Structure 1
Amino acid sequence: MARSICIINGHPDGEPERFVAALCEAYAHGAVAGGHAVSRIDIAGLPIDFLSSEAEFAVAPGAEIVAAQEAILAADHLVLAYPLWLGTIPARLKAFLEQIGRAGFLLDTGGDSHKWPVRRMRGKSVRIIVTMGMPGFAYRLLFGAHSLKGLEAGIFRMSGFSPVRHTIFGGVGACGPDGRQAMLDRVERLGRQAR
C-alpha cells in the first residue's frame, strides 16, 4: 500500500555533501521507487528561534514552521535523520522540534495543563536515523543510547507515533566509501518499504 512520507533532514548544516543529506536522498529515492509520495523538510534552511517561555510555546509558530507542521500532518510516516552531536541531537534540531510542538500541534491539552494530553500523531509511524563518529555499539552499550531513547519516548511515543523505529549508523567517518554505500543501500531499501 502506498504511503505518504515526510523526510526531515535534521542536520543543521545544509551543505548537500553532508552524509545525512545523502541518507535522506537515498530514502526518498527508495520511497519513490516503491510508489510512495514524499515530502521533504530541511531544517538548515528554516528560520528557527529558540523558545524561552511557556507563553511562546503556547502560541502558533511562523509560516515556515506551520508549513512543516502541515507536511508532518499530511504524512503517514515520518523519517528523521540527524548526526549525533555531543552525545545528543543538535541544538538546532531540538529547537525545530520545540517549534513543531507549539500551539498543541503534537499534544493537545485543550488549554488545561492538568489534563492528560490528546496524542495528535496517532496513526503515524516514524523512523529515526542517527549517524555518529563513534561505533554504534559503543553508543548503545556505553552510553545507553540515552538521547535516542529520550527522543523516542519523550517526543514521538508521547505524541502518538507508533511504531517508533530507529537505525544507528556508527563509525561513519572511518567506514570508507564502501561502508557508506552499504548504509545508503540499506536506507534506500527502508524507503522502498516505507519503514
Structure 2
Amino acid sequence: MTRNIAVIQGHPDPSPERLCRALAGAYASGAAAAGRNVRTIDVATLDFPLLRSQAAFESGVAPPAIAEAQETLRWADHWVIVYPLWLGDAPALFKGFIEQAFRPGFALRYRPGKLPEGLLKGKSARVIVTMGMPSLVYRFFFFAHGLRNLERNVLAYAGIAPVRATLIGSAKGMSREAAQRWLSKVEALGREGR
C-alpha cells in the first residue's frame, strides 16, 4: 500500500538556507524516491491571522490557506513536522498554524460532559526539532517540555499515534559534515516512511 505523507515545514523564516528546510526536503525526497505520495505545507508562506478568542476558535471559519492545509492533513496517513526550538518551544507562527488547523470538527469533536473525541485516528507522525543546545540537555534537563506538549496534548489527544521524535541538537554551530549526516538520516526515515 502506498502511504500518503504530509511534510509540515514549521520554520517561520522562508530563507532557503535554513536547516529545517533542508531536513523537510530530505525527508520528502526520500519518501518520494520510495514511491510514497508526498505533499508539503510550508507554514512560513501561509497567510492566516492568529486566533484571538475562544469563539473564533470554536465557530470561526478557517482561512483559505488553513482549509487547504487541513485537506492535505486529512489526506495524509503520516505527518512529518519540522521546526526549530525557540525559547524552549515551537515558534509562534507554527503554534498559530496548529491552533488554526486543529479547530473543532477537524482534530476534535467536543461532546457535552465528556472528553473531546480525537478525529485523526489512524494517522502517525514524526516530529523533527532542531535546537541550539545539545539535544540531551533539552530532553533530560528541560524534559523536552515543548515537544511533549505537541506530542501528548495536541497530536495524541487528536488520535495521532504513534508519534516519534528526532531531536537535532547544537544546530547553530553544526559543521557541514554533521549537517549532511543528519540530512542522510532524515532522508532514510523518508524512504522508510516513518
State the TM-score, normalizing by the size of structure 1: 0.96
Letter of the structure 2 residue corresponding to residue 68 of structure 1: A
SS in 1 for 2:39: strand
TM superposition shift of 1:172: 1.0
Give the conservation status (yes or no) of the 8 Å contact 2:48–2:65.
no
User: Which residue is equivalent to 1:118?
Assistant: 117
Partner in structure 2 of residue 31 of structure 1:
31
> Which amino acid is 1:190 matched to?
L
Q: Which residue of 2 aligns with 1:71?
A: 72
Deviation at 1:48, TM superposition (A): 2.4
Task: Indicate the residue corresponding to 2:42 in structure 1.
Answer: 42
Instruction: Give, as a single letter, the amino acid of the residue that structure 2 aligns with 1:129.
Output: I
1:114 is displaced (CA, Å) by: 3.0
Shift of 1:113: 4.6
TM alignment of 1:3-42, pairs within 5 A? 3-42=3-42
Aligned partners of 1:84 and 1:90 also within 8 Å: yes
Cross-structure match for 1:97 = 98
> Is the 1:46–1:64 contact (alpha carbons within 8 Å) kept by the matching residues of 2?
yes
The separation in 2 between residues aligned to 1:90 and 1:83, in whole angstroms, is: 7
Report the Cα distance in structure 1 between the residues aligned to 2:158 and 2:51, rounded to whole angstroms.
Answer: 19
Indicate how the Cα distance of structure 1 residues 126 and 165 shifts in structure 2: closer, same or farther if over 3 A, else same: same
Shift of 1:16: 1.1
C-alpha distance in 1 between matches for 2:48 and 2:64: 11
Superposed displacement of residue 52, structure 1: 1.3
Q: Which whole-Å CA distance do the structure 2 matches of 1:102 and 1:128 have between them?
A: 20
Given the alignment of the two structures, is residue 154 of structure 1 paired with residue 153 of structure 2, yes or no?
Answer: yes
**Residues 60, 102 of structure 1: 8 Å contact kept:** no
3-12 or 171-180, larger mean C-alpha shift: 171-180
Q: Which runs of 5+ in 2 are unaligned?
A: none
Cα RMSD, aligned residues only:
1.0
| Residue in structure 1 matched with residue 134 of structure 2 by the alignment | 135
**Distance in 1 between the 2:45 and 2:124 partners?**
25
Displacement, 1:76?
A: 0.3
Identity across the alignment (%): 46
- For 1:63, give the aligned amino acid: P
**Aligned 1:55-70 pairs, distance under 5 A:** 55-58=55-58, 59-70=60-71
Q: Which amino acid aligns with 1:143?
A: F
Q: For structure 1, which segment, 153-162 or 97-106, has the greater mean C-alpha deviation from structure 2 after superposition?
A: 97-106
Task: Give how far 1:135 is off.
Answer: 0.5
Distance 1:136 1:97 in 2: 24
Give, in angstroms, the shift of residue 62 of structure 1.
1.1
Structure 2 Cα separation of the partners of residues 48 and 114 of structure 1: 32
Q: Which amino acid in the other structure matches residue 132 of structure 2? A: G
Aligned position for 1:88: 89
Unaligned runs of at least 5 residues, structure 1: none
CA distance in 1, matches of 2:165, 2:96: 21
TM superposition shift of 1:103 = 3.6
Q: Is the 8 A contact 1:48 1:92 kept in 2?
A: no
